[in-house]
Amino acid sequence: MNKHEPYLLGKSGEEVALHYLKRKKYKIIEKGFRLFRGEIDIIAYDNKTLVFIEVKTRRSRDFGLPEESVTHSKQKQIRKIAQGFLSINKIQDIECRFDVLSLIKTEKNAYLFRHIKNAF
């Protein structure tokens, strides 16, 4: 595995996640929102709910499920970035949710995924 492979795997997972969310009628408003030395992969509306989505992609379950890598400290960082996003965009009084899209890329280049709503 070359040093760029994990990055490319993550980016391909994010593209698959975007396609999935669009099919589910989510309105994508931001990709790769960076703030406070961190990033929220996808920000979208699910009807009137603003959803902050973390995408985790792996090649196998050998080191656990992808969603298990969204640790308590990662959740705290995502919440902080989400608050910054709301503040910067002057968004108030809106229902928000934090989801995780967990993807495992199979040997046949297909994806198994799980959409965990209200993950934290």
Burial of 86 (0-12, 13-18, 19+ CB in 10 A): middle
Residue 78: which CATH number?
3.40.1350.10
**pLDDT at position 108 over 90:** no
Domain range for residue 57?
Answer: 5-61+73-116
Each residue's pLDDT tens digit, 7-47: 666 677 888 899 999 999 999 999 999 998 899 999 999 99
The number of distinct structural domains making up the chain is 1
Q: Determine, yes or no, domain membership for 66.
A: no
* Residue 67 domain-assigned (yes or no): no
Give pLDDT, residue 11: 74
- Classify residue 36: in a domain, yes or no: yes
pLDDT > 60? residue 1: no
Residue 17 placed within a domain: yes
